[in-house]
A and B are shown apart, each in its own frame.
Chain A
Amino acid sequence: MAFEATVAIVRDVDVLTARKTIRELARELGFVDSDAVLLATAVSEIARNILTYATRGEISFEVLRDGKRLGVAAVARDQGPGIADVERAMQDGYSTGGGLGLGLPGARRIMDEFRVESSLGAGTTIFMKKWKA
């Protein structure tokens, strides 16, 4: 996979860098403003999670092309403690909607594709994709 950019997430200012990177990438690709904001917000949540739960990690961004369709993919990796129960973490009662826990449900709702690979002690990898409307 050829990544456009990889942002190391080690300090809080890196969350801002990750946001800026995806926002610029989204604008370059012609995503509408509201989608660019959605993407940046989702990335911000994921980056913040890395800082909070894994201390350090990285997020890589890639441009997706499928025929005429354009999109963007982000892969967030960390070597943190891992998520014991991914299903539970992804649970998103429409009713709760608070989502201030892990931010995963919120990010998942924003993305077109969203996959989490994680297990206790083995770190976490999150694969996300969003296509241009």
Chain B
Amino acid sequence: MTELVPPTLRADEREKLATYWHFFEPHAEAINAEMLAVLEKMPNWAAMIHAMRPEEVAEQNKRSNARTKAALLEDDWKEYLADLHQQGMGYAKAGISFAAWFEIIAVFRDAVRHRIAEVAAKDIHHATSVGEGMNRHLDIAMSYLGEAYLATKEEIIRDQQEAIRELSTPVLQVRDRLLIIPVVGLVDTHRARFLTEGLLRAIRERRARGVVMDITGVPIVDSKVANHLAQACEAARLMGAIVVMTGISSEIAQTLVAIGAQLRGVRMVGDLQGGIEEIDRVLARTDALDDEIEAAP
């Protein structure tokens, strides 16, 4: 894991964080107990809390407080930030929503605010500093935790998209040396690339001589998509394959013409079945010619 950069703090901010911590520390145990009681009743957290023994909870709080103290008093943020990062990743992986972990912060804030209010009358200036220190502390906590949470969520989504892409762009082998690619759904840049690379690898691995690319299931073909498809066909042809494209609607045909797509050498046939028959015909002709050449004196 790359080093987390500690927050940049002005001198007065550091002071307030320290003021807040000095105020908080004696109340720590009581506040933790309060929070536990509240969270126990919340559906998102109840299960997690009940999964831990009281000693474990106490131990965890002790360590957490030590880390926070080091950060707020000694400007040693390493352990504290690392822990926030872990939490963020954990919540994301556990499928806990943004709103849910936000709840914890809200409960904590209330617990501390009550106690600040109790001393506010005696020393408003001090109370204000404590309040500001708390806010700064929670802002920092939320930003690091939030960033880790979001980064993890994005990674999870990327993995899922990758899996979906794999499932949705199969390369089917039909008889010897003929591949069919039924393209279904929207084709964005990522998908087009995935599709093309998969096709080219398949051509090499299965020694395909013919490819039928069926785009019946592609709802939108704008100039970008048309280019992607044209590039895929072009690349396949560079590898010596005969390419037939099927399922081209009249709108798509117009788009292809409009972008001047150089689909030279790519045969267009109405439907998939027709496409397969076309390739069969072409391959049969070449096979016949090959036989003729062999037989020639």
Contacts and interface: CB of A to CB of B under 8 A. Distances in A.
Interface stretch (A23-31, A51-59, A94-102, A116-124): A94-102
Given A67-B2, A68-B2, A94 B223 contact: yes
A5 to B, nearest CB: 24
A67 B260 CA distance: 42
Given A67-B2, A68-B2, A94 B197 contact: no
Contacts of B2: 65, 67-68
Contacts of A68: 2, 151
A95 B197 contact: no
Nearest to A95: B260
A7 B2 CA distance: 30
Nearest to A35: B193
Contacts of A34: 197
Nearest to B147: A67
Question: What is the interface of chain A mostly: helix, strand, loop, or mixed?
Answer: loop
Nearest to A66: B2
A34 B200 CA distance: 11
A70 to B, nearest CB: 10
B193 to A, nearest CB: 8
Interface string B237-270: 0000000000000000000000111100000000
B215 to A, nearest CB: 18
B173 interface: no
Contacts, number: 16
Nearest to B223: A94
Interface in B108-162: 151
B87 interface: no
B227 interface: yes
A52 to B, nearest CB: 25
A5 B223 CA distance: 39
Nearest to A96: B260
A3 B33 CA distance: 55
Contacts of A93: 260
A97 B234 CA distance: 12
Contacts of B227: 94, 97
B236 to A, nearest CB: 15
Contacts of B197: 34
Contacts of A94: 223-224, 227, 259
Contacts of B151: 68
A71 to B, nearest CB: 14
A97 B262 CA distance: 9
Name the residue among A65, A67, A97 with the largest chain B CB count within 10 angstroms. A97
A121 B197 CA distance: 42
Interface in B184-204: 197
A89 to B, nearest CB: 20
8 contacts: A34-B197, A67-B2, A68-B2, A93-B260, A94-B224, A94-B259, A95-B259, A95-B261
Interface of A: 34, 65, 67-68, 93-97
Given A94-B223, A94-B259, A96-B260, 13 more contacts: A34-B197, A65-B2, A67-B2, A68-B2, A68-B151, A93-B260, A94-B224, A94-B227, A95-B259, A95-B260, A95-B261, A97-B227, A97-B262
Interface of B: 2, 151, 197, 223-224, 227, 259-262
The 4 closest A-B pairs by CB, nearest first: A95-B260, A94-B227, A95-B259, A94-B259
